[in-house]
Amino acid sequence: MAPATFSHAVAYEDALVGPDNDRRRLDAFLASLPSCPSRSACAKLIEDGAVTINGTAATSKSERVVLGDRVRVCLPLLSKEEGPLRPNFDIDLDIRYEDEYLIVLSKQADLVCHPSPGHIDDTLANALVAHCGYDHLGMLQGEDRPGIVHRLDRDTSGLMLAAKDDQTQQALQDLIRLRVLDRRYLTLVQGYVASDEGTITTGIVRSPRDRLRMTVSDDPMAREAITTFRTLERFEAGPRDEGYSLLECHLFTGRTHQIRVHMRHIGHPVVGDQLYGVGSKRSRQRDRGLTRQFLHSWSVAFDHPVSNERIECRDGLPKDLREVLEGLKSLSMGRTDAGEAVWSQIA
């Protein structure tokens, strides 16, 4: 991973280690300074080479400072003119590819992409500001969504893109619009999907009955949504369920909740989906203990908009989703050829 690129505005904190901090861990010492952020954020500053001890770059957060050491910290600053979001150094970014134009990262579940009611400074956008600074992020989506190219739902995990300037942001969004940015998801759905592959093409609009939900519609105002899928593995029915199917979904459009809405539409809601699941007590029992949808962005591939280099990233399932499949292992009816091909890339 490339080191963090700080905004042009920085401040320096200089501190002399006194008797009370002799032999203290470096990250703990930094966190005790009034102008420094949290301990985890201080550890990130050390990792990024922003801390020196007696003029020499610190290399480990567990390094011990001793009486008389002079410690200097380079702290990135954001002026009011640079943007409205507070940088959040406490959110870890799992970066899979980065250069001066863009980032491919793996978003963890339970992380909101940008500020919304109830989520002001604990979002991916806040973490991107901390990592890059406002002047190194595309602003085409607005100052409250710096760098964001496309979204993942809060409880969807996996790969997504961020852009470091407006031109790259526009180019990546054009790739999505032209349907040449290859995005693939793994999802476990309720029931036995008989087809090995299929295409779902519908209109999608916001539900007039529940503004939190999207719905399939033939309304002229509905936006076209296209999802193709391949069945990777099927699981036999148990005493409290109708079986399960593991699918790979390929997005050709990027509508809100698209895969979740399409799976519900064909009668196979996503396991763990609290919004589009059936909602009965029996359905909750069939969710295999998940409290978030089994949906993971496992693959992105595209031609770099500046270098034309082919960028391909893969991301294996996180622990909670892997444990669900492990629990179904004894009920497996075998993987399809497509399933074997996918698992060979992420095993």
What is the three-class DSSP state of 44?
helix
Percent of the chain with pLDDT over 70: 92
Asked if 65 and 47 count as a contact pair (C-beta separation under 8 A), the reply is no
Which amino acid, one-letter code, is at 223? R
Asked if 67 and 45 count as a contact pair (C-beta separation under 8 A), the reply is no
153 is catalytic: yes
Strand order in the sheet with 10-16: 10-16, 70-76, 51-53, 56-57
Structure confidence at residue 4 (pLDDT): 42
pLDDT at position 332 over 90: yes
pLDDT at position 81 over 50: no
Strand runs (DSSP E) across 99-243, as ranges?
Answer: 102-107, 157-163, 182-190, 197-206, 214-216, 223-235
The C-alpha atoms of residue 262 and residue 190 are separated, in whole angstroms, by 13
- CATH class of the domain whose range is 182-346: alpha beta
pLDDT at position 160 over 80: yes
38 pLDDT band, cuts 50/70/90, is low
Instruction: Give me the catalytic one of 90, 122, 153, 165.
Output: 153
Which amino acid, one-letter code, is at 220? P
7 pLDDT band, cuts 50/70/90, is very low
Angle of CA points 271, 302, 197, to nearest 5°: 40
What is the three-class DSSP state of 126?
helix
What is the three-class DSSP state of 19?
helix
Across the range 247-276, mean pLDDT stands at 94
Asked if 266 and 302 count as a contact pair (C-beta separation under 8 A), the reply is no
Asked if 58 and 47 count as a contact pair (C-beta separation under 8 A), the reply is no
The CATH number of 84-177 is which of 3.40.190.170, 3.30.2350.10, 2.40.128.30, 3.10.20.600? 3.30.2350.10
The whole-chain average pLDDT of the chain stands at 89
* CATH fold group of domain 10-76: 3.10.290
Region of 63 (left: φ > 0; alpha: ψ -120 to 50; beta: rest) is beta
Q: Which of 33-42, 133-142, 216-225 shows the lowest mean pLDDT across its residues? A: 33-42
Sign of CA dihedral 314, 319, 324, 328: positive
Tens digits of per-residue pLDDT, 88-133? Answer: 989 999 999 999 999 999 999 999 998 887 888 899 999 999 998 8
The DSSP code sequence of 282-342 is HHHHTTTT-SS--EEEEEEEEE-TTT--EEEEE-PPPHHHHHHHHHTGGGEEEE-HHHHHH
Structure confidence at residue 1 (pLDDT): 36
33 pLDDT band, cuts 50/70/90, is confident
Fold match between domain 84-177 and domain 182-346: yes
Percent of the chain with pLDDT over 90: 68
Which amino acid, one-letter code, is at 117? P
Which amino acid, one-letter code, is at 218? D
Tens digits of per-residue pLDDT, 173-225? Answer: 999 999 999 999 999 999 999 999 999 999 999 988 888 899 999 998 899 99
Bridging pattern class, strands 295-303 and 182-190: antiparallel
The C-alpha atoms of residue 257 and residue 155 are separated, in whole angstroms, by 11
pLDDT at position 331 over 90: yes
Q: What ranges do the domains of the chain cover?
A: 10-76, 84-177, 182-346
Supply the DSSP symbol for 59. -
Q: Which of 139-148, 180-189, 279-288, 307-316 shows the lowest mean pLDDT across its residues? A: 279-288
